[in-house]
Amino acid sequence: MMKSGNLLSYLLLLVTLFFNAGCTQQNYRVDGATGVDNRNSAEKERVLLKTRNYESLITLNRESLQKKEDPEVRFRLSEYYYLVGNFNSSLHYLTPLLKNRPPVKVYLLQSKNLVAQKNYDSALKFVNMAIEREPNNAEGLNLRGIVLAEKGELKSALKAFEQARNAFYPEEKILNNMALVHIAERRYTQAIQLLLPLYLRGYRDNHMTHNLIFALVKSGDLRYAKEMIKRENLTHYPDTLVSSLFEIESNLASI
């Protein structure tokens, strides 16, 4: 019998849990100042956010923080560092905010950075601190599910995802995460039952589509899997892709 951790490691190479749980995209920047300079800065940040120019947003917020300490500016700076994948810098600028009972979003960003660094035990500690403060925080519950899945605790992960769903975390994202747990435990039919209705009603996301095709192949519905591969123009060689998935399955059986 394959260990769940080994299968999960494979799945994380093939597909990715929805981890965009949550960096808040703010429209305007307000640091308590008034006047033309602040309005200009707010407008500049709005434009940079719209274009997702995170490097420039980092520069803008670093300059602002150099002039005056502000918890919101510090948090945004940490958030932008996280978004560009500079997790060490994100943790560095976030650390001072952890000292005095910070908002829940600080615990969540800390946890996401730690997940990115594969420090799952510490990540779970911080996400649990967030949920202790706000038991129905949908983002936190989803994040806890992700951390538990990374640790191979799939039953607990599924429970956390179900709690996030009940707390109205975005339906498409949470169903994808729940489906991944079912895939990891080879419950392909259950995964299809979650993902196929999303696909049929027109929802399109690369993660979800790939997961659905994977589950279809593993469940033996090769015809529909090939139809989807052709419809989504994933490859010119759908038969080869399906065969490759079967080869992967064969390799997994020997782990």
List b or e across 225-239, with b for residues whose CB sees 16 or more CB atoms inside 10 angstroms.
bbebbeeeeeeeebe
Q: How far apart are the first and last CA of the chain?
A: 8
Tens of pLDDT, residues 92-136: 999 999 998 999 999 999 999 999 999 999 999 999 999 999 999
Q: How distant, in Å, are the alpha carbons of 144, 153, 181, 252 from that of 4? A: 18, 8, 10, 11
Instruction: Output the six-digit token pair for 211.
Output: 């997961």
Residue 44 pLDDT grade (very low, low, confident, very high; cuts 50, 70, 90):
confident
pLDDT confidence of residue 240: 92
Calculate the average pLDDT of the chain. 85
pLDDT confidence of residue 249: 53
Rounded-to-5 percentages of helix, strand, coil across the chain: 75, 0, 25
Half-sphere exposure of 227 (CA within 13 A, CB side): 6
Tens of pLDDT, residues 53-104: 999 999 999 999 999 999 999 999 999 999 999 999 999 999 999 998 999 9
Q: Is 247 a residue whose pLDDT tops 90?
A: no
Tens of pLDDT, residues 150-194: 999 999 999 999 999 999 999 999 999 999 999 989 999 999 999
